[in-house]
Structures are given as structure tokens and as C-alpha cells.
Amino acid sequence: MIAALPARLSVKITPDPCPVEGLDPWCWIWTGAHTSKRYGSASHEGRVWSTHKLAYTLLVGPVPHGLQLDHLCRRKSCCNPAHLEPVSARMNLLRAVRKKACVHGHEYTPENTISKKGGSQRNCRTCANEWQRNNRQKAANAFTVAEQQASA
């Protein structure tokens, strides 16, 4: 079904196993640009879209007025329409609050939870630490390569 999307979009989607049992087994992970809130972002026909909304609109149809798309797989970068359900803003928020673990399965305990925006948003400390380690390593590798090129 990814192939049904325009080629300039489909080349930026990587299938990845879905962490939630009972859903289509593959998340479609957007590897292109992302917003500050970590949703995929792409332009299409002169408009900037969230990629999950764009994929849903192109493959299923427009999101019903007054509803939001809830990621049933809990992965913001997933744009598989089978993982998206139109729901009210209230339902989307209630589902997010009920989550007991991050998408990687780390439990939201007081020790493993980073609260943001006055407690209205939470992040997994284990995932945040892993992300920081990976970014520090990437920066160190880039610096080493730049040093080697400068000395050559």
C-alpha cells in the first residue's frame, strides 16, 4: 500500500515492526522532515502537511470534520493509515493519558518519566537518554571526520 502514495513520499517511508499487537504488523516510519513535536512533515500540492494526515487523506479520504487522527501504534512518525483512527480531541487526550509505557515498552514510573509543560506532557527518560547518547556519538564522529579531512 505504500506504493500507492506518490513516489516522492513513499521513498521516505521505512517499514518497521509495530510495537502494538493486533494492528497491521508494520508501522510506516517517516524518515523525512519532522516538526518540533516529532510528527512527519511534507509538502504536497503547495501545502505543508503532517505526513500521517497526508497518507490518510490520500489513501482513505479526508479526516472527518472536528476529529483528529489518533496513532493507535503510539508512534508519531508512523503514517500507516491502518494505525490511524479519527477520534475527538478529548478521546485522543484520554488515550494518551492512559498509556502506561512508551512506544519502546519502557514503563512510565516516577523514576523513568520526564514531565514537561506543567505536567501535561511526559517523555520516557530511558529513551531520552538513549537519544542523547546517539546524538553525542554522531557529533563526535562528525568532528573526527572533519579533523581528519582538515589534516589531510
Please write the tens of the pLDDT for every residue from 18-42: 988 899 999 999 999 999 888 999 9
Tally Cβ neighbours within 10 Å of residue 86: 17
DSSP state of 19: S
What average pLDDT score do residues 55-81 get? 96
Q: What are phi and psi of 29, to 5 degrees?
A: -85, 125
pLDDT band at 94 (very low <50, low <70, confident <90, very high): confident
DSSP state of 117: G
Question: What's the CA gap between 48 and 108, in Å, rounded?
Answer: 33
What residue has cell string 493486533?
A: 22
Asked if residue 118 has pLDDT above 80, the reply is no
Distance of CA 108 to the CA centre of its chain: 18
pTM of the model: 0.70
Cβ 44 vs Cβ 30: under 8 Å: no
